Homo-oligomer: A and B are copies of this chain.
C-alpha cells in the first residue's frame, strides 16, 4: 500500500542553488515524500517507512534501548518539522504507528 507514496514522473527539480550535479543525476532523495515521522525531507526507505536521516538514526537508537522513554508532558506531544526533539517517547510512538520495524528492507510483512 505504499505505492501511492511514489510521485510519478519528474515533476520539478527546483535546483536553484549554485550546486551542479556532477555525479549520478539520479536525485532520488529529492523526489521522496517527506519523513513520515517528523515531516522533514526524507532520505530514503528506512525500517519500513520513508524517514529522514534523523528519524532513521533515532529509531535505530530506540531499538537498542527498547524504547524506554518517558513522555515529557505525559500526553501526546506535537512532533513536527523543527520540533522533533521535544519528546522522544512520542517520537518513538509515531515510528511504531507508521509501521517501522527491525526488518524493514524488502520484507514488509506489516
Contact = CB atoms under 8 A, between A and B. Distances in A.
A110 B90 CA distance: 13
18 contacts: A72-B110, A73-B110, A77-B110, A78-B108, A78-B110, A82-B106, A82-B108, A83-B106, A83-B107, A83-B108, A84-B106, A84-B108, A85-B106, A85-B107, A85-B108, A86-B107, A86-B108, A86-B110
Contacts of A106: 82-85
Contact-residue bracket for chain A: 10 to 19
Interface of A is mostly: loop
Interface in A9-31: none
A75 to B, nearest CB: 10
A73 B78 CA distance: 40
Given A84-B108, A86-B108, 10 more contacts: A78-B110, A82-B106, A82-B108, A83-B106, A83-B107, A84-B106, A85-B106, A85-B107, A86-B107, A86-B110
